Structure 1
Amino acid sequence: MAASPRPDGRTTRWAGQRERRRAEFVDAALAAIAEHGPEASTEQIADRAGVARTRLYKHFADAADLQGAIAAKARELIVAELEPVWNPKGSPLEMITVAVEEHLRWLTEHANLYHYLTRHARDDTTPDVTTALGTHLTTLFAGYLRVFGIDPAPAETTAFGVVGYVESATRQWLTRLSAPGGTVVSREQLTELLVGAIWAVLDHTLRAGGVTLDPHARLAPPEQLSAPPRALRSR
């Protein structure tokens, strides 16, 4: 049996160098988007990277390839920066409040990147805040529904519904906030409004399954609950 050919060291080194350069260009793109807004052009990205536009496209097939790489980097940022959302603790209202606060913080601090991702959204390549949060909350909510003996089927619709509601309301808030003379509620007021609306949706889903939950009582993660806590099941 013939031995497998050994990998060409030059090929391996070139592949590694190419990936490093792509990562550097993506970082430059994020900086350009933060500076110039969601309309940041390829020329501005190349200028930020200190190279000619033609040099940039030696590492990306086309604009869509660059946009996909930026979107992938955005997912990494979302996962890293929204850590408190992935590991919720406390009462239902505390969990919801942390999720909303972190979501608002991310969208506010990365407003240009968020608008860029929305503008260049592609279902096959672009991960966004809605997908990342909706997928996670679907798993979390389905876990609680199972523990409470409720059909978890509504979990996905509910999770993506509340995330979409928060994103839509926040997008409009950000737009009004940046408009000259725009009058908007404060960030704290927006958080309070969103938390109240989200709890109303979750409470409705739970009550439809025969479960009444105290929104102020500490709730353990679903994997630590073997049965519904006392006084949850309505008669």
Structure 2
Amino acid sequence: MTSPSATSRSGDGRAARWAGQRERRRREFVEAALRAIAEHGPRASTAHIAEEAGVARPQLYKHFDGATDLNQAIADEAALLVTSALRPVWELRGSAMQLITVAVDAHTGWLAENGNLYRYLSLRSHGDRNAVADVRTVIARQLTQLFEHYMTMFGMDIRIAESVAFGVVGLVDSCAAQWLENPRGVPRTELAALLIRWIWRLLDDTLRAGGVELDPHLTLPPPPPQPAL
């Protein structure tokens, strides 16, 4: 006769396997969604996603709690993709100008290659959940930590670090997003050069207001490792 504890363990095992299978299928459907968006554009439908995944539409919703849950999973994956593209910034060794250049090139490069995904996220914000804003916030929080480190090293007031970080991210994102929709003949390299110059001027002004004059090409001591995103 099977004991109650053995039955319980068996039930727990099945639940764990189901949870693992559901999570794996969710990841597969999100990857299919990214491919469908790249192919069909920002208005890719759940039908496109299901077709790309090779399943019937209703099967998608066995693994997601409706379209909002699916869209949020796509947004979460997009945030990971962007922050992964920017990882060289957090691991950079060099000068302030090198850091700015790498960050701008990574961000504008990702946007140029993933324009449809960016537009998809912009079109599918729900209520107080704004997928594009969520991505900006993830990047700005990481940048805040970086600014706090160097402001502390320079003896500056770190209370402004967050405002500066969000200002930089907002500048890059809004300009790059507008360029994506209407480049007006401006190549990405020219846009990046403009953004690099503007960001340095913003940072230089902030540093000077704090009594610091920094050569943008001076090699800086590396920051401590940042936590995984």
TM-score relative to the length of structure 1:
0.86
CA 7–119 in structure 1, closer or farther in 2 if over 3 Å, else same: farther
**What are the superposed Cα offsets for residues 36-91 of structure 1, whole Å, 9 maximum, x if unpaired?**
11111111111111111111111111100001111121122223222212212211
2:37 corresponds to 1:36? no
CA 29–223 in structure 1, closer or farther in 2 if over 3 Å, else same: closer
- Aligned ranges for residues 108-119 of structure 1 at < 5 Å? 108-119=112-123
2:166 corresponds to 1:163? no
Which residue does 2:157 correspond to in 1?
A: 151
Unpaired segments of 5 or more residues in structure 1? 178-182, 225-235
Give the superposition deviation at 1:223: 4.7
Question: Does structure 2 conserve the Cα–Cα contact (< 8 Å) formed by 1:90 and 1:219?
Answer: yes
Give the superposition deviation at 1:18: 1.2
Question: Does structure 2 conserve the Cα–Cα contact (< 8 Å) formed by 1:206 and 1:212?
Answer: yes
What is the root-mean-square deviation of aligned Cα atoms in Å?
2.1
- Aligned ranges for residues 36-55 of structure 1 at < 5 Å? 36-55=40-59
Structure 2 distance, partners of 1:83, 1:191, is: 18
Unpaired segments of 5 or more residues in structure 2? none
1:176 partner amino acid: N
**What are the superposed Cα offsets for residues 179-208 of structure 1, whole Å, 9 maximum, x if unpaired?**
xxxx33221111111011000110111111
2:65 partner amino acid: A
Which residue does 2:9 correspond to in 1?
A: 6
Number of residue equivalences: 218
Give the superposition deviation at 1:124: 4.6
Structure 2 distance, partners of 1:124, 1:174, is: 23
2:132 corresponds to 1:129? no
**What are the superposed Cα offsets for residues 8-32 of structure 1, whole Å, 9 maximum, x if unpaired?**
2222222211111111111111111
Q: Which piece of structure 1 moves more, 204-213 or 66-75?
A: 66-75
Counterpart among 56, 59, 62 of residue 60 in structure 2:
56
User: More helix per residue: 1 or 2?
Assistant: 2
Structure 1 distance, partners of 2:179, 2:124, is: 21
Question: Does structure 1 conserve the Cα–Cα contact (< 8 Å) formed by 2:140 and 2:166?
Answer: yes
Question: Does structure 1 conserve the Cα–Cα contact (< 8 Å) formed by 2:85 and 2:107?
Answer: no
Which residue does 1:231 correspond to in 2?
A: none
Structure 2 distance, partners of 1:66, 1:129, is: 17
TM-score relative to the length of structure 2:
0.88
Query: What's the secondary structure of 2:218's corresponding residue?
Result: coil
Query: What's the secondary structure of 1:48's corresponding residue?
Result: helix
1:48 partner amino acid: E
Structure 2 distance, partners of 1:40, 1:200, is: 40
- Aligned ranges for residues 82-97 of structure 1 at < 5 Å? 82-97=86-101
Structure 2 distance, partners of 1:200, 1:96, is: 11
Question: Does structure 1 conserve the Cα–Cα contact (< 8 Å) formed by 2:82 and 2:107?
Answer: no
Question: Does structure 2 conserve the Cα–Cα contact (< 8 Å) formed by 1:173 and 1:184?
Answer: no
CA 92–124 in structure 1, closer or farther in 2 if over 3 Å, else same: same
Give the superposition deviation at 1:125: 7.5
Structure 1 distance, partners of 2:92, 2:125, is: 28
Question: Does structure 1 conserve the Cα–Cα contact (< 8 Å) formed by 2:140 and 2:169?
Answer: yes
- Aligned ranges for residues 167-206 of structure 1 at < 5 Å? 167-177=173-183, 183-206=184-207
Which residue does 1:138 correspond to in 2?
A: 144
Question: Does structure 1 conserve the Cα–Cα contact (< 8 Å) formed by 2:83 and 2:139?
Answer: no
